[in-house]
Amino acid sequence: MFKSKLCSILNIKYPIIQGGMAWVATAELAAAVSNAGGLGLIGAGHMPPDVLRTEIQKAKTLTNKVFGVNIMLMSPFVKEVMQVVIDEKVAVITTGAGNPGEYIPALKEIGTKIIPVVASVALAKRLERIGVDAIIAEGQESGGHIGEISTMSLIPQIADAVSIPVIAAGGIADSRGFVAALALGAQGVQIGTRFVASLECIAHDNYKTAVLKAKDRSTVVTGIATGHPVRVITNKFTRDYEAMEKNGASPEELEGMGAGKLRIAVREGDVDNGSVMIGQIAGMIKNIKSVDDIIQDIMRDIPTVLNGINENL
C-alpha cells in the first residue's frame, strides 16, 4: 500500500486531497472522499457561517473519517467562518486567496492542520515560516482561480524551497498524474475536476456533462483584467465576458458580471450563461464513477505506470 509522510500528518489512508470547490464540494462529496481513504473538503467559498456549520455537521453524520474545510480568505464572512471551524474542531483547513497567519494560533490550539494553497515559491516560503503544516502548490492548469505558473514548473521549485510536505494540484486526474507529481517532489495530490464527475458530487447533471464533453482546449482564462484570473469552460458567458474586457470594462463591472455565475451553473445547470470552473484535465475524463472507484483506480494503477516507465528506459 502506498503511504507518504502526508498520510501520517493528516491521518488518511491515501495522499489524495479533494479540491475545495465552492458550490461543488459539499458535505456529501467531502464525506465520500474521506470514506474512500482520501481527505474530503467542504468548500466554504462565500458561505455564511450558519450554512457552513450545517455542512460540517452533516459531514459528521456521513463519515467518521477525517475531513476538512477550504476557506477563501477573501470571503466577507471569513472571521465568522474561522470561528465555526474552531467551534466544530475541524481537523484540517485549506486556505486560498490570502495569508491565514492571524488565525494560526487559535487553529493550532485545537490541533487543526493548516494547509494553504499557493501559486509561487515566495508565498510558500513565507507561509512555512509562520507555521503551516503543508503546502498545496497549484499550477495554472487548475479550474477556478489560478496563478501564472504551470504545475510541472511550480511543484519542484516549491518542493526545493520548503521542508514541509508539498501537495501538487492542477492537471491531475489519474495514476499517471499522481506518479508525475511525486516525481516532481510532492508527497500527495489535490484533485478537483475528476471528483466533479463522480456519483456523489451534487453538481447539476448539465455541469457534469460539460466536463465529459470537454476537450483539451475547451477551457479559457477569464478575469485577467480584474487581477483574479479564473479558468472556466468556454461558453456564452465567457464570450460575453471577453467582449466586455476588450471594450474596456472596469474591474468592478467585470466582477459584477461574474457574480453568482458559478452558482447558476453548478446548482441550476445553466452551463451556457454560468461559470463552469473546470481544469484543463477535463479532456481526459470520459465517465462518471463513484468516488471510491476513482480513488481505487488511481492507487491500483500506480505499479502499472511505474513499470511502464521502466520499460521505456
pLDDT for residue 230: 86
295/115 Cα distance (integer angstroms): 21
pLDDT for residue 246: 83
> Strand 230-233 relative to strand 219-222: parallel, antiparallel, unpaired?
antiparallel
What are the pLDDT digits (tens) for 282-313?
999 999 999 999 999 999 998 898 888 877 66
Query: What domains lie within the chain, and their CATH numbers?
Result: 5-202 (3.20.20.70), 215-277 (no CATH)
**Mean pLDDT to the nearest integer, 108-122:** 93
Phi, psi of 138 (to 5 degrees): -110, 120
Cell numbers for 269, please give them.
445547470
Kindly give, in sequence order, each residue whose CB lies less than 8 Å from that of residue 154, ignoring residues fewer than 6 positions away.
119, 120, 137, 138, 139, 147, 170
Q: How many Cα atoms sit within 13 Å of 270 on the Cβ side?
A: 11
138/159 Cα distance (integer angstroms): 12
Kindly give, in sequence order, each residue whose CB lies less than 8 Å from that of residue 31, ignoring residues fewer than 6 positions away.
40, 59, 62, 63, 65, 67, 200
What are the pLDDT digits (tens) for 128-169?
999 999 999 999 898 888 888 999 999 999 999 999 999 999
**Mean pLDDT to the nearest integer, 233-251:** 87
Phi, psi of 43 (to 5 degrees): -85, 105
Three-state secondary structure call for residue 111: coil
- Is the per-residue pLDDT at 215 higher than 90? yes
* Mean pLDDT of the chain, nearest integer: 91
Phi, psi of 117 (to 5 degrees): -90, 130
Q: Which residue did the predictor score with more confidence, 236 or 223?
A: 236
28/32 Cα distance (integer angstroms): 6
In this prediction, what percent of the chain has a pLDDT beyond 70?
A: 98
pTM of the model: 0.91
DSSP character string of 47-59:
--HHHHHHHHHHH
DSSP 39: B
Q: What number of other Cβ atoms are within 10 A of residue 159's Cβ?
A: 21
Q: What number of other Cβ atoms are within 10 A of residue 204's Cβ?
A: 18
What are the pLDDT digits (tens) for 15-58?
999 998 988 999 999 999 999 999 999 998 888 999 999 999 99
pLDDT for residue 259: 83
**Mean pLDDT to the nearest integer, 247-267:** 84
Q: Is residue 67 very low, low, confident or very high in pLDDT (cuts 50, 70, 90)?
A: very high
- Is the per-residue pLDDT at 80 higher than 60? yes
pLDDT for residue 180: 95
Encoded amino acid at 28, one letter: E
What are the pLDDT digits (tens) for 69-78?
999 988 888 8
CA nearest to 167, candidates 215, 113, 203 = 113
CA nearest to 25, candidates 178, 191, 149 = 191
119/122 Cα distance (integer angstroms): 9
- Is the per-residue pLDDT at 226 higher than 80? no
N-to-C CA span, the chain: 25
Q: Return the ∠ at Cα 257 (arms to 255 and 259), rounded to 5°.
A: 70
Cell numbers for 89, please give them.
474542531
For residue 233, give the H/E element and its range: strand 230-233
Cell numbers for 195, please give them.
471528483
- Is the per-residue pLDDT at 204 higher than 60? yes
pLDDT for residue 312: 67
Q: Is residue 249 very low, low, confident or very high in pLDDT (cuts 50, 70, 90)?
A: confident
Q: What number of other Cβ atoms are within 10 A of residue 3's Cβ?
A: 11
